[in-house]
């Protein structure tokens, strides 16, 4: 028997080690769907804090249903968090290379 999906805060994504993109998406979508209905101001604040592209976020908000909006926003958050992780890894690799070269 599978355990029920539990919503996930975007801040937790980078700390996860063994979770697949589909599960992250499903959990994040639940979290975002709840914010769309109950705390839109917090959702906007989180999108700003996680540096989600404002234009893409605006397009997502123009979708006809909360389910569609939550789906697309979850993808935006995941893509942005992955990009930040890649940037950090590249920076760390570059920094380590610079230390070795000195």
pLDDT at 92 (0 to 100): 77
Report the alpha-carbon distance of residue 73 to residue 17 in Å, rounded. 22
**What residue segments make up the domains of the chain, in order of their start?**
10-101
Q: What pTM, to 2 d.p., does this model score?
A: 0.77
- Of 8-12, 28-32, 81-85, 98-102, least confident by mean pLDDT is 98-102
Report the alpha-carbon distance of residue 15 to residue 99 in Å, rounded. 26
- pLDDT per position as a tens digit, 37-60: 999 999 999 999 999 999 999 999
SS3 content of the chain, % helix, strand, coil (to 5): 75, 0, 25
Report the alpha-carbon distance of residue 54 to residue 60 in Å, rounded. 10
Q: What are 2's two structure tokens?
A: 């599978």
For residue 2, pLDDT beyond 70: no
């Amino acid at each position: 028997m599978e355990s029920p999906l539990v919503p996930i805060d975007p801040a937790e994504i980078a700390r996860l080690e063994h979770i697949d993109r589909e599960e992250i998406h499903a959990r994040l979508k639940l979290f975002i769907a709840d914010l769309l209905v109950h705390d839109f101001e917090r959702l906007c604040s989180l999108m700003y804090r996680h540096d989600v592209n404002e234009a893409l976020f605006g397009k997502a908000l123009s979708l006809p249903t909360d389910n569609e909006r939550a789906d697309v926003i979850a993808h935006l958050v995941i893509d942005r968090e992955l990009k930040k992780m890649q940037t950090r890894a590249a920076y760390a690799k570059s920094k380590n290379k610079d230390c070795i070269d000195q």
